[in-house]
């Protein structure tokens, strides 16, 4: 009788695992329909994000507070490094990934860590709500990152969307500055007003 229960439970675990695996595939398929990046680029961006996060949590960077955001093989680094040498290591670590095409270094050097994560998360949420709620911008087209009130916009957008995105973002309470790091969907041109 016990063997029968074990076999049934094991069978249920296998079935649930297969169902979860197939649903993950559905999620990727849905993402591929709405994301301007190719599925392989989305997957690569996810792997780079994961691997950089693991690296930056290692003992080599224990005195630093760094966040890596990846979109379309480009890495945005924000946060604080404990020294100029550490900042160099942080940037070098991101540049050493084969599939990384560009690294935007917005890491500050500071011996004293000051967290603004609660305020920054609130600002990011308000910006996303304002941008995506109107329906003018697809949430898969951009990534929004806030660090100390500075809002970074990474993504692939239509050229006509940028000015409105900047104005909407600037209107959110607490936003000190907007840094657009975007490519236009309709060309190979790149806009970065503040780099």
Domain of 48 in residue numbering reads as 39-109
Confidence tier at 7 by pLDDT (50, 70, 90): very low
Q: Is 10 inside any structural domain?
A: no
pLDDT tops 90 at residue 33: no
Q: Identify the domain boundary among 68, 84, 109.
A: 109
Same domain, 184 and 123: yes
88 assigned to some structural domain: yes
Instruction: Name all contacts of 114-119 with Cβ < 8 Å and 24+ positions apart.
Output: 114/80, 115/65, 116/147, 116/148, 116/149, 119/149, 119/174
169-187 pLDDT tens trace = 999 999 999 999 999 886 5
CA distance 175 to 184: 24
Within-domain flag for 23: no
pLDDT tens per residue across span 98-154: 999 999 999 999 977 777 889 999 999 999 999 998 777 888 899 999 999 999 999
Residue 28 forms part of a structural domain:
no
Work out the percent of the chain whose per-residue pLDDT is above 70: 77
Specify whether the CB–CB gap between 153 and 142 falls below 8 A.
yes
Angle between helices 162-170 and 117-133 (to 10 degrees): 130
Give pLDDT, residue 29: 47
State residue 37's pLDDT score. Answer: 87
Q: What is the pLDDT of residues 47-63, one digit of tens each?
A: 999 999 999 999 999 99
Residue 25 scores a pLDDT above 60: no
Task: Tell me the pTM.
Answer: 0.77
Q: What is the DSSP letter of 116?
A: -
Number of structural domains in the chain: 2
Whole-number pLDDT of residue 153: 96
How far is residue 99's CA from residue 48's CA, in Å, rounded to a whole number? Answer: 8
pLDDT score, position 173: 96
Q: Do residues 174 and 192 touch, judged by C-beta distance below 8 A? A: no
Let me know whether 124 and 187 are in one domain: yes
Is 125 in the same domain as 185? Answer: yes
């Amino acid at each position: 009788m016990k063997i029968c229960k074990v076999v049934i439970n094991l069978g249920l675990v296998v079935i649930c695992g297969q169902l979860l695996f197939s649903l993950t595939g559905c999620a990727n398929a849905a993402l591929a329909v709405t994301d301007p990046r190719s599925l392989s680029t989305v997957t690569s961006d996810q792997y780079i994000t994961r691997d950089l996060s693991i690296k930056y949590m290692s003992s080599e960077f224990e005195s630093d507070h760094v966040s890596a955001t990846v979109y379309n093989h480009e890495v945005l680094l924000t946060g604080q490094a404990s020294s100029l040498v550490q900042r160099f290591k942080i940037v070098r670590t991101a540049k050493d990934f084969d599939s990384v095409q560009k690294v935007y270094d917005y890491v500050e050097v500071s011996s004293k860590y000051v967290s603004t994560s609660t305020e920054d998360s609130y600002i990011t949420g308000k910006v996303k709500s304002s941008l995506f709620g109107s329906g003018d911008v697809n949430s898969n087209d951009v990534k929004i990152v806030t660090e100390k009130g500075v809002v970074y916009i990474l993504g692939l957008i239509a050229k006509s969307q940028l000015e409105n995105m900047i104005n909407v973002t600037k209107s959110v309470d607490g936003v000190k500055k907007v840094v657009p790091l975007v490519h236009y969907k309709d060309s190979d041109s790149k806009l970065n007003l503040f780099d």
